Amino acid sequence: MAKYDDLADIYHNTRMSGKAFYNEYYEVPAMLRLLPNLKGKNVLDLGCGSGIYTKIFLSKGAAVTGVDISRKMIEIAKTYAPEAKYLCQNMTKLTVPKSSFDIAVASLALQYLTNWKPALKAVYRSLKKGGFFFFSITNPLFEIADVFDRSGRHYSWIGHDTNFKKGKTVVHGDYFRQRWIVLKWRTERWGKPIGLRNYHRTLEYVINTCIAAGFVIKGVYEPRPVAAGAKISPVEYKIRSQLPNFMIFKLQKPN
């Protein structure tokens, strides 16, 4: 199983190629559309990876602190976006000062946590009153598909195949069992498919854990890829224009 420390170089280079469909043509534009004006804001970039969002936030006039558990990712970020502050830390044990950030962002990072409570508590504590927390995750309803390859074809199935007369059914996908699942990053630009583990959580868990941490949910979004993505990957574009791969949440620490 791949780990972000081993993947850091290939991750950053692939993102820099401008051809990472799921990021540059899908998740990133959706997140940027939702974020408020960052000029003069103090922004926490959780699971900052190689600093790609960090650099965008800096370019929009924010002061940024990037946090990532991967030492290698932080090393790259320090070179790629050197004007930010960085902490190599597990976000479940954040040590940033209390009530110090206007905005926190966690792009595709919470999905690696087995327990969201400590991280949400830490983010809540780090935000000023009225501050916002934006996070994206793989869509809990769709990440649990039965995925397999057969005769050169790739299948991703959720649903059931039922014969009521015989009393038989095959169910594809297991939504309610919260567990580690392996997602394969298949695009040819990553070389051979890379397996990475997400900890699948139900929507019920995600929403109720946010509320229990004290946040108010201000918006929930199921973005679609931008039209330019059709040129990068017509197949992924078609799939992701009909079946969502991501969700974005906008939370607020009440005033």
- Site residues (vs ligand SAM, CB under 6 A): 4, 47-49, 52-53, 67-70, 73, 90-92, 107-109, 112-113
Parallel/antiparallel/unpaired status of strands 146-150 and 153-157:
antiparallel
Nearest distance from C-beta of residue 39 to ligand SAM, angstroms:
21
Query: In the complex, what is the shortest distance from the CB of residue 53 to ligand SAM, in angstroms, rounded to a whole number?
Result: 5
Residue 197 or 224 having the CB closest to ligand SAM: 197
Least Å from the CB of residue 52 to ligand SAM: 4
- Minimum distance, C-beta of residue 164 to ligand SAM, in the bound complex (Å): 42
CB nearer to ligand SAM: give 68 or 236. 68
What's the min distance (Å) between Cβ of 71 and ligand SAM?
9
Q: Report yes or no: 86 and 66 within 8 Å, Cβ to Cβ.
A: yes
Minimal distance, residue 48 CB to ligand SAM, in Å:
6
CB of 107: closest distance to ligand SAM in angstroms?
Answer: 4
3 or 238: CB nearest ligand SAM: 3
Within 13 Å, how many C-alpha atoms sit on residue 35's CB side?
Answer: 27
The CA-based angle 101-30-46, given to 5 degrees, is 35
The continuous run of DSSP H or E covering 155 comes out as strand 153-157
Burial class (CB in 10 A: 0-12, 13-18, 19+), 186: middle
CB closer to ligand SAM, 139 vs 157: 139
∠ CA 209-63-76, nearest 5°, is 85
| CB closer to ligand SAM, 14 vs 168 | 14
Nearest residue to ligand SAM on Cβ basis: 49
Output 18 or 234, the one with its CB closest to ligand SAM: 18
Query: Which residue lies nearer to ligand SAM by CB, 110 or 210?
Result: 110
Contact yes or no for 21/225 (Cβ under 8 A):
yes
Q: Please spell the DSSP secondary structure of 178-243, one letter per residue.
A: -EEEEEEE--GGGSS-EEEEEEE--HHHHHHHHHHTTPEEEEEE-----TTHHHH-HHHHHHHTTS
Look at the alpha carbons of 47, 157, 244, 178 in this order and tell me if their dihedral is positive or negative. Answer: negative
Round to whole Å and give the CA distance between 142 and 195.
Answer: 17
